[in-house]
């Protein structure tokens, strides 16, 4: 059974655009729209959704008021605030917002929400978990630990093949059609797509922080605020490279980085 979604927004064009983008997600079973705050509460009661996209500025009840009431009504509903204004972000996360996206929406905004929903759903269903914690518990109990294979990424160069360990990759960038793998002191242009590398290297600490960048989590030294809710990462390579973080990836990145 797929996910049930409610979208609450008093502006029809915004509702229709978000409904279209959300409806393209393969796991979505139903999308129900609400035209205001009270209507949103009614639709939540009726449909018991997994996810509620909630506009912040509505004429009857604002998004924060609706979120508080929905939290009392059904705390399992995950709330995504969708608004044209980023000044509400702090109050939104005080109400344990699942995500926060800014208008105008695009595919990347929606995909970031559903990527996080997939991860959380997997953990809640018992399919995920902290592998590091599991290994530490096995070690504490004297249980044998699985052996980690010595894997390397093969980079085809003009004079042969160079093998690079995932931990030695600081970040990966895409500019136009060109993808480059950046190590501590050198960059290599590769024939892989960014999607290929995300699939290959995701299990080894490479994280997508922007539509054009993957970063090695262990190589991040600082995260500095930039504009419109976005950030820049300072990497700990020899030139202290700066890598952008789209606002939609900030929360997920912080969850991965911080204890």
The single-letter DSSP state of residue 81 is E
Distance between CA 66 and CA 38 in Å, rounded? 8
Task: Tell me what pLDDT residue 240 has.
Answer: 93
Q: How far is CA 36 from CA 79, 181, 184, 248, in A?
A: 15, 47, 52, 25
Place of tokens 């009504």: 73
Task: Tell me what pLDDT residue 137 has.
Answer: 41
Grouping H, G, I as helix, E, B as strand and the rest as coil, residue 191 is coil
Q: 37-47 vs 63-73: helix axis angle to the nearest 10?
A: 20
Distance between CA 80 and CA 105 in Å, rounded? 13
- Provide the whole-model pTM: 0.52
Per residue in 160-180, pLDDT tens?
A: 888 999 999 999 999 988 999
Low-confidence ranges of the chain (pLDDT < 50): 90, 128-149
Task: Tell me what pLDDT residue 160 has.
Answer: 82
Task: Tell me what pLDDT residue 87 has.
Answer: 52
- Which spans in the chain are helix H? 12-23, 37-47, 63-73, 89-94, 107-124, 131-140, 194-201, 247-257
Task: Tell me what pLDDT residue 9 has.
Answer: 94
- In this structure, are residues 48 and 29 in contact, taking their beta carbons and an 8 Å threshold? no
Burial readout 130-140 (b: 16 or more C-beta within 10 A, e: otherwise) = eeeeeeeeeee
Task: Tell me what pLDDT residue 40 has.
Answer: 95
Task: Tell me what pLDDT residue 161 has.
Answer: 86
């Amino acid at each position: 059974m797929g996910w049930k979604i409610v979208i609450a927004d008093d502006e029809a064009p915004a509702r229709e655009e978000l409904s279209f983008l959300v409806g393209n997600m393969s796991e979505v079973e139903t999308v129900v729209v609400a035209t205001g705050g009270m209507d949103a509460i009614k639709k939540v009661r009726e449909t018991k959704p997994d996810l509620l996209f909630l506009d912040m500025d509505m004429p009857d009840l604002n998004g924060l008021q609706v979120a508080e009431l929905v939290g009392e009504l059904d705390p399992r509903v995950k709330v995504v605030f969708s608004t044209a204004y980023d000044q509400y972000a702090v109050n939104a996360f005080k109400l344990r917002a699942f995500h926060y996206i800014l208008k105008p929406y695009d595919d990347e905004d929606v995909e970031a929400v559903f990527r996080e929903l997939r991860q959380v759903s997997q953990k809640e269903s018992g399919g995920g978990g902290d592998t590091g914690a599991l290994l530490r518990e096995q070690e504490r109990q004297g249980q044998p630990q699985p052996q980690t294979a010595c894997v390397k990424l093969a980079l085809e160069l003009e004079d042969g093949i160079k093998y690079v360990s995932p931990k030695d990759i600081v970040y990966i960038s895409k500019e136009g059609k060109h993808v480059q793998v950046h190590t501590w002191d050198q960059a290599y242009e590769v024939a892989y797509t960014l999607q290929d590398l995300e699939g290959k290297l995701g299990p080894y600490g490479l994280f997508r922080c922007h539509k054009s960048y993957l970063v090695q989590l262990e190589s991040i030294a600082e995260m500095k605020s930039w504009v419109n809710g976005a950030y820049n990462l300072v990497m700990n390579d020899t030139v202290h490279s700066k890598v952008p973080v789209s606002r939609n990836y900030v929360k997920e990145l912080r969850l991965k980085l911080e204890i």
